[in-house]
Amino acid sequence: MALPTMVSTAQLHTLLEQDDLVLLDSRFYLNDLEKGRNVYQQGHIPGALFVDLHHQLAGTETAFTGRHPLPEPDALAQTLASLGINNNSQVVVYDDMGGAMAARAWWMLVQQGIEVYVLNGGCGAWQKQGLPIEMGVNQPAPTEFRIKVSYPWLVTEEDVVANFEADRFQLLDARAEDRFNGMNETLDPVAGHIPGAINRPFMNNLNAEGLMKSPERLQTEWGALLQNIEKPIVYYCGSGVTACHNVLAMNYAGLEAKHVYVGSWSQWAKRMQRMMQEHSI
């Protein structure tokens, strides 16, 4: 069954008065963890609730995880309830990076059976259309209902290790080409990519205006990239965030995509660092 994917600014504008709408502002900046909340308070789409990618849509980073591991299922269930999200909610999530951050929330929620969409073009497209902005902080209306959270589309580090022998899936990296090639690594302790992976930077899904390319264009581009690959694709990136944008783009193009190695390069780089330290002893 096709997954819900994108809504336009015009479509969201007509939904704002809908009782079951939960609008989430998921702006996030890796180099300033408080900036997302600050820019939300300075101006957001009317009715939007801020959701913190680092604290609410991720668990605690450890020496053995990536930078943004998934939260425990009970923790996500509590977060969803605190935001007033239940099985009947219609959720729209946006950011200011072409959906790169919003796609993480989308991927986490859509696999729970929630009807969730990403706003095409985010708050930038909204403002460009001259649509209203409000300031301050909106308070959610929590629900007693708890969604039974699970992560059926999660691929683990152990799965990736086992795949070197089993060869069940193809890894696809969403990072920029220079980071994929190990030429410009500023975030993780080791540069490069997981052996055997191919590269499709998530930015290639966007047009010059920062909107998602048309389904037809995406279908053509992704079809050319994957034409000789018969195995299922597992998507990864730096920390399990922008990989979700590739999953979103694939579904928007009508192509099947679900599975993300959430640990991504930030977890794999820690693994490589440990191995190098062990061999140097």
Catalytic residues: 237
Report yes or no: 247 and 107 within 8 Å, Cβ to Cβ. Answer: yes
Q: What is the phi-psi region of residue 232: left when phi exceeds 0, alpha when psi lies from -120 to 50, beta otherwise?
A: beta
Pairwise CA distance, residues 50 & 43, whole Å:
11
